[in-house]
Amino acid sequence: MAGTGLAESVCMNSCVTPTAPEYTIAQTEKGWRLRIENEHFSVMQVFRSEDNARDAVDRMMEFFHTMDAQPPAFAEAPAGRPRGREAAWPRAI
């Protein structure tokens, strides 16, 4: 039917917007460590040079943006009860 709107999913509208990731670059005995994190994710990687670590910042920022844009993988079930289509323990194979 023309002009029919789509219902919004709860996952599509979030009341909490993620904060921009913060990062640090520090020299260690093994190389240059890039640590980038927000309230949901934290990633740490070691590079051979400070320039390589700085070059990776934009790629990591894009990763964080992509991950924050993903809807949750599943809805949590009330404690002690399986989610729909999920068998109670023990599970038959």
Which residues partner with 23 through β-bridges? 36
CA distances from 77 to 10, 43, 55, 59, 90 (A): 16, 29, 42, 35, 17
10 vs 82: CA distance, rounded Å = 21
Sequence-separated (6 or more) residues with CB below 8 Å from residue 89:
none
- Residues whose CB is less than 8 angstroms from the CB of residue 6 and which lie 6 or more positions away in sequence, other chains included: none
Query: What is the pTM (predicted TM-score) of this model?
Result: 0.56
Q: How far apart are CA 20 and CA 22, in angstroms?
A: 6
pLDDT per residue as tens digits for the range 12-64: 444 555 678 899 999 999 999 999 998 878 899 999 999 999 999 989 988 88
